[in-house]
Structures are given as structure tokens and as C-alpha cells.
Amino acid sequence: MPSPLIYRRSQWRPPVPKPEFVYTTYIETTPEKLWQALTDGNFTERYWFGARLRSDWKVGSSFEMVRSDGTVSDAGKVVECDPPRRLAYTFINLSDKYKNEFPALATFVLEPYGKLMKLTLTHEGFSEGSKFFNGISKGWPAILSSLKSILETGQPLQIPFEALKMEG
């Protein structure tokens, strides 16, 4: 009979990793302008499909994403705010199809990179099989590409919102 140690090792399986989304882009802008683009609702509505982010950006404060019709589509809490270096908040889409999911954490890290800014977004803390994770995996690249475009050219990308329809 094999020793208990050998048996346990033969039964070991690596933990199932929880989904995590990481996106890095380089933007020709200043730290201050990038920070404003991430936190000023008047700015976000220009590149985030008309969505205004609403918060006072104090740790523990609420965070809301308000659509152009005035409805709140996403909500969460501010976890970290260190202008113009780090911003983190939890959020979840409030539609019924995500009612069984928990808010996940989105963390933005802003770093000078020569004359550019390096922006890294990490969105994590999703449950296994998360429908919300599938949606943000489509949405974040489009949103952050539009953010880059507006900061560098003054114009957001014209991506049809319907093309990003969250499935699930």
C-alpha cells in the first residue's frame, strides 16, 4: 500500500482559478487628464457609451453608473482612491440576469511611462461561470480604446453599443 503522503499527492489538483480580466494600454496624455477621464462623469459620458460615473471618490462611498436616460445600470463602492495613481471600486450590473452575482473589483493603475501614461485595469473577484465576466471581457477593451482615442485625438471611437451586448 502506498504511503499516505504519496496518495495525497496523487490526489492533489490545482485550485480552480477565478476569472480575472487584465488590460494594459499606453496613452499619450498626462496623469491629471487620465485621472479626470476616469473619474469625471462629464468626461466618461463622452467615451463610455453615454454613461456618467457618479461618486465623490472617497473610500467607502457609493459608485454608480448612470445611463443617458437617468437609470442606474451599475453600482458598487469605492475601495481605493489615490489621485492620480490608483483607483479601485467594486461594481455589478443591476439587471436581473446578474442578480445572483456579487460585485467584482475593478482596479486602475496609472503609471508614467516616458511621455506616455501606462494604464492597467484589473477586474477580479468574479464567481466561477460568471455571466458578468463574459460581458466585461467584451466591454472593457472597447471602453478603454475609446478612452485612449478621446485623450489622444479629442474624439471617442464610434463603437455601436449593440456590438457589445452582454450575453448570458
Residue 162's pLDDT is 72
- Lowest mean pLDDT across 27-31, 84-88, 159-163: 159-163
Whether pTM > 0.85 for this model: the answer is: yes
Q: Is the pLDDT of residue 1 over 60?
A: no
Tell me which DSSP letter residue 127 carries: P
pLDDT for 168 equals 46
pLDDT over 70 (residue 13): no
Q: Which grid cell sits at 36?
A: 479626470
Give the pLDDT score at 127. Answer: 83
Percent of the chain whose pLDDT exceeds 90:
74
CB count within 10 Å of CB 136 equals 23
Residues 124/141, Cβ–Cβ less than 8 Å: no
**CATH fold group of domain 15-164:** Alpha-D-Glucose-1,6-Bisphosphate; Chain A, domain 4 (3.30.530)
**pLDDT tens-place string over residues 36-63:** 999 999 999 999 989 999 999 999 999 9
Q: How many CA atoms lie within 13 A of 54 on its CB side?
A: 14
Element (H, E) at 72: strand 72-82
